[in-house]
């Protein structure tokens, strides 16, 4: 009895230890960011991992004055891009799922083939196209490519989900005289709302964290996004680490609030794609 009990406790202890290590590894960067945001460069060099008095709370005021413009730019670009991707991909997915036309499967496979192409390979052609269209230092220079590349994943997931909707619903609506726009509005959109909401959140997060593309097409200071604008805390002589970490904290707050307020809807949408309607 005792040997069996000890054998059971040992794997549990190992499991708990592994989970604690994973939790520590996950939250330690956030801890380091928070304590570093209330230090100056001298205090950071004195103690990397422990708080140092006095706390430099003025870092947040100075950082907010610089970050507020970048937050506005990122919020505008990411919101319009996510909504644009959702609008375009919903219609495209419905066409692929419910219409038959020559070359449908080949066109869909060609669309999926773009998922296997690294984004860095399309960086130069995309920038040349945006520059030729005179969209540099304009919001649309970021928004349009985000919509174009973001809809590939949307279409792949939404088409599979729409195909799982029972055909009887569409047949019954057609018998009652519903047109395709009515079927799309009153059947497809309500049933696809949870998974569509999750995809919009993931697209918003991906665009918010993007660095290379906004750096190329939005070089003007007033047009920079958060990820690019945080480098404004680097002066000629040194990097102002305290201000930079304070800017990181301020930039992370909108995303934390967004996911905290919509976590239930996000989980429902993330799991609905694996369950038949």
Query: pLDDT tens digits, residue range 123-132?
Result: 888 899 999 9
Length of the chain: 277
Residues 80, 121 contacting (CB under 8 angstroms): no
Task: Quote the pLDDT of residue 274.
Answer: 47
Query: What's the token pair of residue 84?
Result: 């644009």
Structural domain of 84: 58-272
Specify whether 194 is located in the same domain as 225: yes
Residue 95 lies in a domain: yes
* Percent above pLDDT 70 for the chain: 88
Task: Quote the pLDDT of residue 16.
Answer: 83
Specify whether 27 is located in the same domain as 63: no
Cα separation of 209 and 187, whole Å? 34
Residue 42 lies in a domain: no
Residue 47 lies in a domain: no
User: Residue 75: pLDDT band by 50, 70, 90 thresholds?
Assistant: very high
Query: What's the token pair of residue 175?
Result: 């018998």
| CATH number of the domain that residue 236 is part of | 1.10.3720.10
Residue 277 lies in a domain: no
Q: Which of 124, 119, 115 has the alpha carbon at shortest distance from 157?
A: 115
Residue 98 lies in a domain: yes
Specify whether 8 is located in the same domain as 120: no
Secondary structure tally for the chain: helices H, strands E: 13, 0
Specify whether 243 is located in the same domain as 187: yes
Specify whether 120 is located in the same domain as 225: yes
Residues 272, 194 contacting (CB under 8 angstroms): yes
Cα separation of 148 and 145, whole Å? 5
Specify whether 10 is located in the same domain as 125: no
Residue 52 lies in a domain: no
Residue 264 lies in a domain: yes
Specify whether 74 is located in the same domain as 15: no
The sign of the torsion formed by the CA atoms of 162, 167, 168, 171 equals positive
Specify whether 12 is located in the same domain as 133: no
Residue 188 lies in a domain: yes
Please give the residue that has the higher pLDDT: either 270 or 149.
Answer: 149
Q: Which of 70, 214, 78 has the alpha carbon at shortest distance from 138?
A: 214
Specify whether 71 is located in the same domain as 31: no
Please give the residue that has the higher pLDDT: either 230 or 271.
Answer: 230
- Based on its alpha-carbon atoms, the radius of gyration of the chain, rounded to whole angstroms, reads 24
How many Å separate Cα 242 from the centre of its chain? Answer: 26
Q: Compute the CA torsion angle 84, 87, 90, 96 (nearest 10 deg).
A: -80
pLDDT above 70 (res 8)? no
Specify whether 63 is located in the same domain as 31: no
Question: Which 3 state secondary structure label does DSSP give 227?
Answer: helix
> What beta strand segments (E) does 118-246 contain?
none
Domains in the chain: how many in total? 2
Specify whether 6 is located in the same domain as 116: no
- Give the number of C-alpha atoms closer than 13 A to the C-alpha of residue 127, restricted to the C-beta side: 14
Task: Quote the pLDDT of residue 6.
Answer: 53
Specify whether 11 is located in the same domain as 140: no
Q: Which of 37, 68, 84 has the alpha carbon at shortest distance from 243?
A: 37
User: Residue 109: pLDDT band by 50, 70, 90 thresholds?
Assistant: confident
Residues 200, 169 contacting (CB under 8 angstroms): no
User: Residue 150: pLDDT band by 50, 70, 90 thresholds?
Assistant: confident
């Amino acid at each position: 009895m005792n040997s069996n009990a000890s054998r059971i406790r040992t794997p549990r202890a190992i499991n708990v230890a592994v989970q604690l290590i994973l939790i520590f590894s996950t939250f330690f960067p956030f801890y380091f960011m928070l304590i570093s945001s209330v230090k100056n460069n001298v205090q950071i060099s004195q103690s990397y991992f422990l708080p140092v008095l006095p706390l430099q709370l003025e870092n947040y005021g100075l950082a907010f004055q610089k970050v507020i413009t970048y937050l506005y730019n990122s919020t505008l670009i990411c919101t319009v891009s996510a909504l644009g991707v959702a609008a375009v991909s919903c219609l495209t997915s419905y066409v692929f799922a419910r219409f038959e036309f020559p070359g449908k499967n080949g066109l869909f496979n060609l669309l999926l083939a773009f998922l296997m192409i690294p984004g860095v390979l399309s960086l130069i052609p995309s920038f040349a196209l945006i520059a030729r269209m005179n969209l540099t230092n304009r919001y649309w220079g970021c928004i349009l490519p985000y919509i174009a590349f973001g809809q590939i994943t949307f279409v792949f997931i939404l088409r599979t989900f729409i195909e799982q909707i029972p055909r009887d619903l569409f047949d019954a609506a057609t018998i009652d005289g519903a047109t395709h726009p009515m079927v799309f509005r009153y059947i497809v959109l309500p049933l696809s709302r949870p998974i569509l909401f999750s995809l919009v959140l993931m697209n918003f997060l991906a665009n918010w964290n993007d660095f290379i593309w906004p750096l190329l097409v939005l070089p003007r200071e007033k047009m920079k996004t958060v990820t690019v604008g945080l480098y404004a805390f680097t002066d000629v002589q040194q990097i102002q680490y305290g201000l930079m970490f304070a800017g990181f904290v301020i930039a992370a707050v909108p995303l934390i609030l967004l996911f905290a307020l919509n976590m239930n809807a996000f989980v429902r949408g993330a799991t609905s794609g694996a369950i038949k309607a």
